[in-house]
Structure 1
Amino acid sequence: MNLRKTLLAASIAALPVMATVPAHAATPLMAAPVQQLSPQESAALVAKLAARSSKLGLDAGHGYAISSQHPGVAGTKISRAQHTFQGLRVFGSETVVVSNAAGDIVSESVADRRAGLGNNAAKSADGAANARFETTPAISGIAAIDLVVKAVAPRATHFVAPTAELLVYPVMKSVRVSGAADKSEAALNALDLEEVVDRYELAYLVQTRMVSGNKPIYFDSVVSAKDGSVLAQWKALKTVIGVGNSQYNGTVPVSTTFSNGVYSMKDPVRGTGGTYGAMAITNANHGTSAGSVYTNPTNTWGDGQQYNGGSTTDANGQTAAVNALWGLMNTYDMLKNVLGWNSLDGNNTSTYIAAHVNTAYDNAYYDDNCKCMFIGDGSNFNSLGAIDVIGHEMSHGVTAATSDLVYSGESGGLNESHSDIGGEAVEAYARAGGTGNTLPNTGNDWMTGKEISKTGQPLRWLFKPSKDGKSPNAWSSTIKNLDVHYSSGPNNRMFYFLSQGSNASSGSDYYSSYLNKSPLAMTGIGTDKAFRIWFKALTTKFTSSTNYADARNKVLLAAEELYGVGSAEATAVKRAYAAINVGADVDETSTGGAVTITSQPASITVAPGGNASFAVGAGGGTAPYSYQWYRNGAAIAGATASGYAFTAQAADNGAVFKASVTDASSPAVTVSSANATLTVSNNSSSELITNGGFEDGATGWSGNTGAIGDQAGQSPYEGSKFAWLGGNGKTSTETLSQSVTIPASATSATLSFALHIDTAETGTTVYDRLRVTVKNAAGTVLGTLATYSNVNPASGYQIRTFNLLAYKGQTVQISFAATEDASLQTSFVVDKVSLIAQ
């Protein structure tokens, strides 16, 4: 949405612990600029998503509309697909699709608010009436705009033409999850609540961008298309190599252009296209429009002094432009050099900053209509072009180009928090010289806007937000009712703790009473790692409706993808969010001692064509562990998991396998397992499962065999087909089973299968399950081998192995049964099922 982001709200101890950690590898986190999808490519992606609609219980009235594309992490592209119903956008309901260079879907992040429409209406609060949800408005879009204008600013003039988008607006409510029903309000944790749809309204999203005098009045309003009532409303004005003399940074290099005998403040080396064809600084000259690009007969700019109210083009007037250009250059360089992110949108599109907006104006803001920033000269404040203020406002541009967090409620607080975090990252980078590919851990002050303050009091304290008298230090169920500049506070504190750590003394500004595990003072991971984790979550996982609970889960997932499940970085994310009452605290314990092999790979005998599977266990040292498997002393390409399996052939007889395990300590420690020998023999073993890879479709299987295939949205472990159980997002049960006879003479019987789990559920409550059981011919359960659920998803397949020798001499059914509750899908994808008897 087109929003202006402002810096300011409506009104104006002992040090913590941080671990000494090595810098992140000097490689870009994000991919290079991406080409936008062609109409044909967009249609192909929509078709892939739509192919899953029936599994999700959606009827033909539901669809997708690609809204934007931007770079993902290296080698991937992000496409954001809005959910539609009867051709209308469902507000806040969307799918974030990660795809690789080949166009394959790698993963999805979903905010689903459409399930109560159409076929799923019976499960919604409005019942079956939503199956016939009326999409014909009773009032026009023009009438909706008029209603908003009369209520907000009837005498103002439109700065940008108003718009009214007809859409389906889900009215949300918070409900307690199972287990939190009896908690007091004060005892609630963010993960104790979930947002659900209360009802649907046909509505207009009205965007008005008006000016009254020199005062911008920007609002987004949701207006009922039935009776014109305002359902929701929020402010859309979001506040806050020549030689330049900067007010805040001393003498600094500024990148300018020389043409036709004059120098102009257009940076020729950062960004392309945009309004001026390059990054630029313009002179608003006390107006609300951008004005013209700054020019000068020499390449020395500014006098380094606070603006005195006179000319905006003499040396004193140029100082605000120097502040702006220096800040813009460092914002661009930090994003590109540290993360590989190009400009604000990731696609290297140029932006600009207008200095001297309005007269004695105490604000700075980002305007997504022009994708640019405006800086006031200040009255109660000094000029608002300090480095962290510019980093703050430019960071709103990154949010607008990616997750586009709605600037209201908890998502608005996270939007504002990202800008405070971004401002600190730019400040740290600039103060360290503005070079290099890592963020330094010093240089910034963890306070927003201290330099622009005439009293020395900052606008916000990231390490203890409550010091401003209005911002909370932790999440509560009422935080969504606060101004977004205040509801940002807890997430700012989370990021400080994640980066710098906390203090165990209750009198410290860096103390959190919610940290109750060992040690009481949590350990930080450094600004560089913390920012990489946060940025990946914001740009590739957050949706526009992400709240604190959703943010915690997606930031944790980003940490696990970057640094490993169980890593110190992932643990720090859990603790940092626990420190603000989002999730439970955990211990910072390692398994202790040096890394050791806890279970050795065993020698096995299989028949030709059978599944040869080896596994190694490790403990001690520092998690996470990395693995490498070897065959006859040579490393096996791609064999880097704790288990290694392949289809054995006669030529593999006698091969010797072992694994090395390396921990994450510094320096890392590596240990090697014992050798395991593979014997391939026709006489000693047999494969009892028919069509375990599902390549022959339903052959050998019974139950919900429609789950077998090569459906878009999931990938096989090997081959081209798999069994996709669950993934419906509604109450359902799906089963697959196969009958086998385990010989009475068997000396071993090993069941194995590859399993991948992904889910749209959040939190630690079990909603959806996959049970793997052994049954007799009558269907009576003889034994439950394992139960998996939505709380243990995995980014790829994991090999599961079980001993079935107890059932030798019997004919039994191997059964997979998935059950889902009424909402939010969990997919259990099974492949390469094998039962080897010897």
Structure 2
Amino acid sequence: MNLRKTLIAASLAAMSAGIAMAAEPLMAAGQAQSSPQETASLIAKLMSQRGNHGLVADHGFVVASEHPGVVGTKIHRVNHTFKNVRVWSSESVVVTNDAGSIVSESISERRQGLGLGLGQSFAGKAGTDIDVNPRISGKQATDLVVSKLAPTGTHIVPPKAELIIYPVMKTVRVASAVNKAEAALNAMDLEEVVDHYELAYFVQTRMTSNGRPNLNDSIVSATDGHLIKQWSAMHTVVGVGHSEYNGDVPINTTLSGGTYQMIDASRGTGGTYGAMAITNANHTTSAGSVYTNSTNTWGDGQNYISGGSTTNANGQTAAVNAMWGLMNTYDMLTNTLGWQSLDGVNTATYIAAHVNSNYDNAYYSDTCKCMYIGDGSSFTSLGSIDVIGHEMSHGVTASTSNLTYSGESGGLNESNSDIGGEMVEAYARNGGTGTTIPGGNDWMMGVEISKTGTPLRWMYKPSKDGSSPNAWSSTVGNLDVHYSSGPNNRMYYFLSQGSNATSSSDYYSAYLTKSPAAMTGIGNDKAYRIWFKASTTKFTASTNYADARSKVLAAAQELYGVGSKEAIAVQRAYAAINVGTDIDETGGAPGPVTISSPANVTVAAGSAASFSVSASSGTAPYSYKWYRNGVLISGASSATYSFTAQSTDNGAVFKVTVTDSATTPTTATSGNATLTVTTGGTATETMVNGGFESGTSPWTGNTGDIGTWSGEPAATGTKDAWMGGNGSAITETLSQTVSIPSTATSATLTFALHIDTAESGSTAYDKLTVKVKNTAGTVLQTLATYTNVNAASGYQTRTFDLSAYKGQTVQVSFSETEDSSLQTSFVLDNVSLMVK
């Protein structure tokens, strides 16, 4: 199943009219939430479209949240379900207008492998009808997590356990990248597919342990309680205030009974304190109480003295830093984008200063939807303007895309906050007023809190920190999210400020190969409008780098037009980090996709016939559909189509269509190619049910591997044998006994084999051996051994001469062995033994 996320239905032109060239708000403030009747109507519309997406009656939809869109629209985050259980990271972002009509839908589809009725399982390959009845309880799952993380910890809030269906993903190469070296891969060369499903619990634990916050999200098997995945949920890093980093700044406070409170009644409503507020944690992990003062002059502008009072002038300075940062974050979002507070509907938040003792961290917590600031030890007080903007941006993410905080999506989550922090800094440095975001930020996260002047991150060249990459690679998702954010941070810098053509410059990218070598930036204001539109109205929780590029480009095209300088800048900025290919700035959008025509093929009966084409222009990656005599060939979806030709195939005509992945895709159709099959004697097929279309007989061994798998489509027909793909230590076999006549002049074994893997490098961890055995099971010959190193997109036809076994009855045996981690799938189809 191809999981490259797509945008379905272009947004109405009215959505972006008036926004493209003017600095106007993107979002409409204060919209009413949908009524139950409106929500039910939306669900009904989505349910009516299930057939268009290959879904069945057990597939459903649940609206999880809603936030404002542009004037006249609403944005709905819709979870996908199967048998009323949420399918993790399978979701839609649906834009509706005031009439309730669907304007656009951005889909992350991860459940199409469910519901095919091929047997029930708790942990099944794509295609199983999964059993949704757990064998352990949510409390048992939670207890297992707590016992491993912090058995003596204290819960800040009660833990939660939600039953889910968890798609275990794997990454495969697209057809055009099959033969690329690992180092040459571009983000667009890979796609995510479902390997298998597991019934699981999503467990959220929010604890303190040893005086420190311990916030985690875990995926736990609902069958035996083993931990499937885990990641941290801690998203880190007008009176007069004497601030530490910004001089004397105006801060809004409230006078109550002769006492000033650090509550800004003009920003935000509701929440814990009725408006934006700053509290004093006083070296604990709780929020504490709102800051108060007898006068409306706060702080001394000096770094907090460790061990001192948190309420005197020196202790108040951290609160001044926090209030100034919170006010500017609110104003930047509201005045430039129309987005109120963190959730878009003006719900108030707060910041707790002086959390823990000598604590070198600042973090956002989804428990309180608030921020905590430490006093620092290696750092100074962590309340600089960009750090506050960063943490508050985590709140915006939590209210919109909710990017999963691990892998590539986790890196994008962190990058979104770095981008937000820099834009808040730019806005604040220029007076904190106006409807546009000017320049003026330093593009270095947290430089003010560093005692040495070394920032936490360099946006323009992430590798300066010694750990963050400058560009995407296939391993970027394995990094800590604070490092995997690096490439996207650099992309955003280039989008806003442009690049440098001098190879020794910190602002140079070797991936920019078109003209001019130094790409042109579009400035902070346009860059952030594009990014914010994409992240709030198109991103889903599982968006990765490749998906981000397509959705940021779509946002630029909606705001400024297809082929606009802004859309070109997006393509060049992502190309600069090895996500997509570079284009000329003056060349406009890429032309339509083109395709070569396959050559005519002549083969002997029983031999492999192979047709190949190459695609160019358009926007990679490409998708292929092969046709035989005008009829679509199921599962033939790569640049090469191979199968074992029989005499009845003589004269068959083949062609292929190719579609690119542009926002508005283009399709090209090849010319026809004719297959000529020579007979030179009559060949007889001795292998029975070699295409697996007739069930499992007469195959023996792990016949459960035979079936229809949406994650591993057949080479021809609808069925294949999917061996492996487990990611655990296991051996699987499939064998068939055949007799080769003593009078045979030839005996040719062929089969189509597709290999994909989650392994990397040149070490053979998982393998498939092809053997000939006698009827007693003794190995007569090992014909071949294939491993994870041989992984490639599409099927390859393998051919072997078995004439040495004429006059014998033998077993043709396929045996697969995996090690204890990281799956490799060996997928067989069209097994044939032609005898003359």
Q: Please report the TM-score for the alignment, with normalisation by the length of structure 2.
A: 0.69
Q: 1:822 to 1:522 in 2, by over 3 A?
A: farther
Amino acid corresponding to residue 70 of structure 2 in structure 1: V
Q: Secondary structure at the match of 1:133?
A: coil
Alignment of 1:589 onto 2:576: no
Question: CA separation in 2, counterparts of 1:279 and 1:568?
Answer: 39
> Is contact 2:156-2:207 (8 Å) kept?
yes
> Is contact 1:73-1:536 (8 Å) kept?
no
Question: CA separation in 2, counterparts of 1:85 and 1:254?
Answer: 50
**Residue aligning to 1:40:** 37
**Residue aligning to 1:11:** none
Question: CA separation in 2, counterparts of 1:768 and 1:100?
Answer: 35
Q: 2:298 aligns with which of 298, 301, 305?
A: 301
Q: Residue 823 of structure 1: CA displacement? A: 8.6
Question: CA separation in 1, counterparts of 2:166 and 2:99?
Answer: 35
Q: 1:793 to 1:320 in 2, by over 3 A?
A: closer
Q: Residue 53 of structure 1: CA displacement? A: 1.0
Question: CA separation in 1, counterparts of 2:21 and 2:499?
Answer: 22
1:108-137 Cα shifts (integer Å, max 9, x gaps)? 000000000003869x99888844311111
Alignment of 1:285 onto 2:282: yes
> Is contact 1:769-1:790 (8 Å) kept?
no
Amino acid corresponding to residue 43 of structure 2 in structure 1: V
1:606-630 Cα shifts (integer Å, max 9, x gaps)? xxxxxxxxxxxxxxxxx99xxxxxx
**Residue aligning to 1:380:** 378
**Residue aligning to 1:238:** 235
Q: Residue 368 of structure 1: CA displacement? A: 1.0
> Is contact 1:503-1:510 (8 Å) kept?
yes
Q: 1:561 to 1:314 in 2, by over 3 A?
A: same
Question: CA separation in 1, counterparts of 2:117 and 2:506?
Answer: 49
Q: 2:491 aligns with which of 486, 491, 494?
A: 494
**Residue aligning to 2:661:** 791
Question: CA separation in 1, counterparts of 2:117 and 2:551?
Answer: 27
Q: 2:475 aligns with which of 474, 478, 492?
A: 478
Question: CA separation in 1, counterparts of 2:79 and 2:115?
Answer: 17
> Is contact 1:79-1:98 (8 Å) kept?
yes
Q: 1:766 aligns with which of 623, 629, 633?
A: 623
Q: Residue 768 of structure 1: CA displacement? A: 6.9
> Is contact 1:121-1:129 (8 Å) kept?
no
Alignment length (residue pairs) = 599
Q: Secondary structure at the match of 2:206?
A: strand
Q: Residue 24 of structure 1: CA displacement? A: 4.8
Q: Residue 183 of structure 1: CA displacement? A: 0.7
Amino acid corresponding to residue 333 of structure 2 in structure 1: L
Question: CA separation in 2, counterparts of 1:263 and 1:98?
Answer: 43
**Residue aligning to 1:550:** 547
**Residue aligning to 2:739:** none
**Residue aligning to 1:433:** 431
Question: CA separation in 2, counterparts of 1:469 and 1:583?
Answer: 25
Q: Secondary structure at the match of 1:395?
A: helix
Question: CA separation in 1, counterparts of 2:270 and 2:250?
Answer: 23
Amino acid corresponding to residue 516 of structure 1 in structure 2: T
> Is contact 1:115-1:121 (8 Å) kept?
no
**Residue aligning to 2:58:** 61
Amino acid corresponding to residue 332 of structure 1 in structure 2: Y
Q: Residue 33 of structure 1: CA displacement? A: 2.6
Question: CA separation in 2, counterparts of 1:453 and 1:769?
Answer: 59
Note the 1:194-273 alignment, pairs <5 A: 194-273=191-270
**Residue aligning to 2:633:** none
> Is contact 2:126-2:195 (8 Å) kept?
no
Question: CA separation in 2, counterparts of 1:590 and 1:553?
Answer: 19
Q: Residue 55 of structure 1: CA displacement? A: 2.2
Unaligned runs of 5+ in 1: 1-21, 592-622, 625-760, 774-785, 799-820, 825-838
Alignment of 1:27 onto 2:39: no
1:49-108 Cα shifts (integer Å, max 9, x gaps)? 011112222111110010000012333110010000111100000000001111111000
Q: Residue 791 of structure 1: CA displacement? A: 3.4
Note the 1:62-77 alignment, pairs <5 A: 62-77=59-74
> Is contact 2:342-2:393 (8 Å) kept?
yes
Note the 1:417-428 alignment, pairs <5 A: 417-428=415-426
Q: 2:113 aligns with which of 107, 111, 116?
A: 116
Unaligned runs of 5+ in 2: 1-18, 591-617, 631-655, 667-708, 713-836
Q: Secondary structure at the match of 2:56?
A: coil
Q: Secondary structure at the match of 1:118?
A: coil
Question: Which stretch has the larger CA shift, 490-499 or 292-301?
Answer: 292-301
Amino acid corresponding to residue 27 of structure 1 in structure 2: E
Q: Please report the TM-score for the alignment, with normalisation by the length of structure 1.
A: 0.69
Amino acid corresponding to residue 402 of structure 1 in structure 2: T
Alignment of 1:326 onto 2:324: yes
Q: 1:56 to 1:280 in 2, by over 3 A?
A: same
**Residue aligning to 1:312:** 310
> Is contact 1:23-1:528 (8 Å) kept?
no
Q: Secondary structure at the match of 1:306?
A: coil
Q: 1:151 aligns with which of 145, 148, 151?
A: 148
> Is contact 1:144-1:228 (8 Å) kept?
yes
Amino acid corresponding to residue 661 of structure 2 in structure 1: V
Question: CA separation in 2, counterparts of 1:259 and 1:306?
Answer: 28
Question: CA separation in 1, counterparts of 2:455 and 2:265?
Answer: 34
Alignment of 1:137 onto 2:161: no
> Is contact 1:58-1:119 (8 Å) kept?
no
> Is contact 2:260-2:294 (8 Å) kept?
yes
Alignment of 1:193 onto 2:190: yes
Q: Secondary structure at the match of 1:114?
A: coil
Question: CA separation in 2, counterparts of 1:465 and 1:128?
Answer: 39
Q: 1:345 aligns with which of 343, 346, 349?
A: 343
Amino acid corresponding to residue 474 of structure 1 in structure 2: A
Note the 1:590-605 alignment, pairs <5 A: 590=587
Question: CA separation in 2, counterparts of 1:160 and 1:294?
Answer: 24
**Residue aligning to 2:781:** none
> Is contact 1:768-1:790 (8 Å) kept?
no
Question: Which stretch has the larger CA shift, 156-165 or 457-466?
Answer: 156-165
Note the 1:390-539 alignment, pairs <5 A: 390-441=388-439, 443-539=440-536
Q: Residue 242 of structure 1: CA displacement? A: 0.7
Note the 1:87-102 alignment, pairs <5 A: 87-102=84-99
1:25-54 Cα shifts (integer Å, max 9, x gaps)? 131111223222222221111111011112
User: Comparing both chains, which one has the higher relative contact order based on Cα–Cα distances under 8 Å and sequence gaps of 6 or more?
Assistant: 1
> Is contact 2:76-2:93 (8 Å) kept?
yes
Q: 1:590 to 1:128 in 2, by over 3 A?
A: closer
Q: Secondary structure at the match of 2:260?
A: strand
1:382-419 Cα shifts (integer Å, max 9, x gaps)? 00000000000000000000000000000000000000
Q: Residue 539 of structure 1: CA displacement? A: 0.1
Question: CA separation in 1, counterparts of 2:405 and 2:302?
Answer: 35
Question: CA separation in 1, counterparts of 2:52 and 2:443?
Answer: 47
Question: CA separation in 1, counterparts of 2:153 and 2:333?
Answer: 38
> Is contact 1:277-1:350 (8 Å) kept?
yes
Question: CA separation in 1, counterparts of 2:371 and 2:625?
Answer: 46
Q: 1:560 to 1:224 in 2, by over 3 A?
A: same
Question: CA separation in 2, counterparts of 1:380 and 1:126?
Answer: 46
Hey, which bits of structure 1, 4+ residues long, moved more than 4 A? 124-131, 767-770, 786-790, 792-795, 821-824
**Residue aligning to 1:721:** none
Question: Which stretch has the larger CA shift, 124-133 or 70-79?
Answer: 124-133
Question: CA separation in 2, counterparts of 1:219 and 1:236?
Answer: 5
Amino acid corresponding to residue 555 of structure 1 in structure 2: V
1:333-353 Cα shifts (integer Å, max 9, x gaps)? 000111111111111110000
Q: Secondary structure at the match of 2:51?
A: coil
Question: CA separation in 1, counterparts of 2:538 and 2:482?
Answer: 23
1:504-562 Cα shifts (integer Å, max 9, x gaps)? 11100001111111111111111110010000000000000000000000000000000
Amino acid corresponding to residue 539 of structure 2 in structure 1: F
Q: Residue 450 of structure 1: CA displacement? A: 0.3
> Is contact 1:125-1:197 (8 Å) kept?
no
Amino acid corresponding to residue 31 of structure 1 in structure 2: A
**Residue aligning to 2:718:** none
